[in-house]
Amino acid sequence: MEFGIKVATPDKQRSACVVVGVFESKKMTDAAKELDRLSKGYIKEIIGQGDLEGRANTALLLHKIPNLQSKRVLLVGLGKEEKFGGNAFIAAVQTAFRTLQNTGTTDCALYLSETPVQERSHAWKVMQIAKLAVESNYHFDQLKSKPETNKKGLRKITICIGDQADLAAGEEALSQGAAIAHGMSLTKDLGNLAPNICTPTYLAEQAKELAKTYKLKVTILEEKDMEKQGMGALLAVARGSHQPAKLIALEYQGKGKKEKPIVLVGKGVTFDTGGISLKPAAEMDEMKYDMSGAASVLGTLKAVAEISLPINVVGIIPATENMPGGSATKPGDVVTSMSGQTIEVLNTDAEGRLILCDALTYAERFNPKTVIDIATLTGACVIALGHVATGLLSNNEALSQALIKAGEQAADQVWQLPLWDDYQDLLKSNFADMANIGGRAAGTITAACFLSRFTQKYHWAHLDIAGTAWKSGKEKGSTGRPVPLLTAYLIAQANAKN
């Protein structure tokens, strides 16, 4: 998709379609008013007839408007003006692109960036438009014998702004928004692939391709290497699978070698049956998304590399399947982690924390500034927060607040849960240093408590994306989250240094 941004007025547009907004009570935005003036009241007359009342999630496509050089005009309902905030803006842009994708329009000029949004800058609006444009064009039909992709679709989008002073910031936001969207597309592709294709070996190959394209350093540990490192927890999960486990490390260096990196650790269970503690059959196919944390790390690194962000970032991915079998780990087994701590495995379906704990210990060698792990870790998080917010737990409040702020900036929200010592007792074991589960109560918190025991040497945050990484039902598919959140956080950290 081709993007452009310029200072322009509606009367000069020759694109296939001009997009402007209309609030409820039929109040037009300034760009819509200008089109109405040029068409000698034509648009106002259409609105007056009740064809569009300005309600949110509505749109009206007009053809052959008098005195306009553009072939079409798309009027997008913005809802109530006094309530027009960031979420309403995103909904309006999504409505615009959804409507245009179902037409023969291949290029458009948007004036929604000029629409006032409560407490949001022009740059923020431009970034969202770029991200949502690429998202609207996303299709996953690689595995179909006859791809259904719309070969027409939007190909060129021009974002029009009214002030030359906003142009430089808009251009930067445009490139960042597009890069985030490209990272999300990679994350979606990996998540949506069938689990017989997206194996630990496949993830390692994708990491190598990413490293080759963007000149990153890549290290792949095989099972024999993990044995030498003492990664008994990770290997315990891999025992039941014929697919060899991998520990993937990617290093992006946008600053000098003395600069401490931010380390992202992504859970990479490419298929999770639950192991011996077998999951129910219903919806088990969706356990191919249990590597969404790993996919988001690769997607974020792609976005960071495209932007050429001046920051050092390391991505670590423990990748394995969790399968039942004669050699699979059993409930009651005791395993020794890379840290030397022993773990009683009470439930083999609590496998994510087992592979993450060794990866979090491995992260120490990079002398990190901070470490953030991303994992589809607990069904309890879905019960607590649904599919709206990602769960956040951390051993450092400044890091938590930075991630919360980044989530608000990226429209990829997180919600912080407590990580109090009171919950640690739930992990007690009579036979090992700890159990890998703490019972039904506070499942998301006790999972993070488990991980916190391997993160005492650095500032750390845990993102539980079990409810936000993919959608079920008719819209089944990966969401690409939390690539926007992670990239916004890294952009903020890079800007703080410069």
Tokens of 164: 């030359």
**Which of the residues 131, 246, 267, 353 is marked catalytic?**
353
Is the alpha carbon torsion for 72, 78, 81, 84 positive or negative? Answer: negative
Q: What is the C-alpha to C-alpha distance for residues 178 and 130, in angstroms, rounded to an integer?
A: 5
Instruction: Mention every residue, 6+ apart, whose C-beta is less than 8 A from residue 272.
Output: 279, 287, 290, 321, 322, 349, 351, 352
- CA nearest to 345, candidates 239, 462, 464: 239
Task: State yes or no: is 353 an active-site residue.
Answer: yes
Q: What is the C-alpha to C-alpha distance for residues 29 and 34, in angstroms, rounded to an integer?
A: 9
- Work out the number of other CB atoms within 10 angstroms of the CB of residue 473: 5
The DSSP letter of residue 482 is: T
Instruction: Mention every residue, 6+ apart, whose C-beta is less than 8 A from residue 70.
Output: 10, 13, 14, 15, 16, 17, 18, 109
Q: How far is CA 30 from CA 21, 112, 207, 210, 369, in A?
A: 9, 10, 47, 44, 47
Q: What is the C-alpha to C-alpha distance for residues 356 and 451, in angstroms, rounded to an integer?
A: 7
Backbone phi and psi for residue 159, each to the nearest 5 degrees, phi listed first: -100, 120
Q: What is the C-alpha to C-alpha distance for residues 216 and 209, in angstroms, rounded to an integer?
A: 10
**Which of the residues 279, 330, 369, 457 is marked catalytic?**
279
Task: State yes or no: is 156 an active-site residue.
Answer: no
Place of tokens 């770029």: 130
Q: What is the C-alpha to C-alpha distance for residues 373 and 396, in angstroms, rounded to an integer?
A: 14
Q: What is the C-alpha to C-alpha distance for residues 111 and 43, in angstroms, rounded to an integer?
A: 16
Q: What is the C-alpha to C-alpha distance for residues 1 and 81, in angstroms, rounded to an integer?
A: 31
Q: How far is CA 220 from CA 174, 211, 258, in A?
A: 34, 12, 24
The DSSP letter of residue 259 is: S
**C-alpha atoms less than 13 angstroms from C-alpha of 421 in its C-beta half-sphere:** 0
Tokens of 93: 């842009």
Q: How far is CA 185 from CA 138, 180, 409, in A?
A: 7, 9, 20
Instruction: Mention every residue, 6+ apart, whose C-beta is less than 8 A from residue 281.
Output: none
Q: What is the C-alpha to C-alpha distance for residues 109 and 205, in angstroms, rounded to an integer?
A: 39
Q: How far is CA 481 from CA 97, 219, 410, 412, in A?
A: 20, 25, 10, 7
Angle between helices 292-307 and 483-497 (to 10 degrees): 40
Q: Which residues are catalytic?
A: 279, 353
